[in-house]
Amino acid sequence: ETGVTQTPRHLVMGMTNKKSLKCEQHLGHNAMYWYKQSAKKPLELMFVYSLEERVENNSVPSRFSPECPNSSHLFLHLHTLQPEDSALYLCASSLFAGPTEQFFGPGTRLTVL
Amino acid sequence: GESVGLHLPTLSVQEGDNSIINCAYSNSASDYFIWYKQESGKGPQFIIDIRSNMDKRQGQRVTVLLNKTVKHLSLQIAATQPGDSAVYFCAERFPPGEGSARQLTFGSGTQLTVLP
């Protein structure tokens, strides 16, 4: 609906697994974002890419590794996660990395056992 | 009805009434603000935005008011409908040179429930 798609929509993984989240935007935007949304907490910005270059990393643990191969695709690689990493992971895009509307995907609901 | 950020995280209104959702933002120099709506099982959806050089902006059935003196943002929804039931977030953008200059900082949200 928003032009931003995320897969998978749901993911259950063990602490020793390696998995990846995928985001794709069909809007011709130049900036993409990863957010973490935990219950009853504000959205937490994790990573920002502008023109495929990472411009922001908000002190995210190294067990989360982003990748932006082109302006339309964004990945979040996960390894050796902890149960407290269980959350909704949202991808967003915007025309540019500035004061403008961000379009969000539906999110991936991640559960770490 | 009205709500005030974290102190009243839920707001219930009768269908057809007007809703007012409030937000206290943190940085007096923030220059851009957005309201998002998030329905259950979906990502946040843009509602309306406003720049700091304005104090009011209107959209379709929604109005955002900005009071920079007290760092307060409000979202007014006219003739609230059942489809308006959702969590509403405000977000601010810190000015250039301060921390995450190009990024939005979100509030924790207010759950709006529309009663039949």
Residue B4 has pLDDT above 60, yes or no: no
SS3 annotation, B6-37:
HHCCEEEEECCCCEEEEEECCCCCCCEEEEEE
Alpha carbon A95 to its chain centroid, in Å, reads 17
Q: What is the DSSP letter of A72?
A: T
Chain A residues whose beta carbon lies within 8 Å of the beta carbon of residue B43 = 2, 4, 90, 92, 104-107
Asked if A39 reaches chain B (Cβ–Cβ under 8 Å), the answer is no
Cα(B56)–Cα(B65) distance, integer angstroms: 5
Chain B residues whose beta carbon lies within 8 Å of the beta carbon of residue A104 = 36, 43-45
Tell me the pLDDT tens digit for each residue of B50-100: 999 999 999 999 999 999 999 999 999 999 999 999 999 999 988 766 544
Tell me the pLDDT tens digit for each residue of A7-60: 999 999 998 889 999 999 999 999 999 999 998 788 999 999 988 888 877 789
Chain A residues whose beta carbon lies within 8 Å of the beta carbon of residue B93 = 99
Tell me the pLDDT tens digit for each residue of A79-91: 999 999 999 999 9
Asked if B107 reaches chain A (Cβ–Cβ under 8 Å), the answer is yes
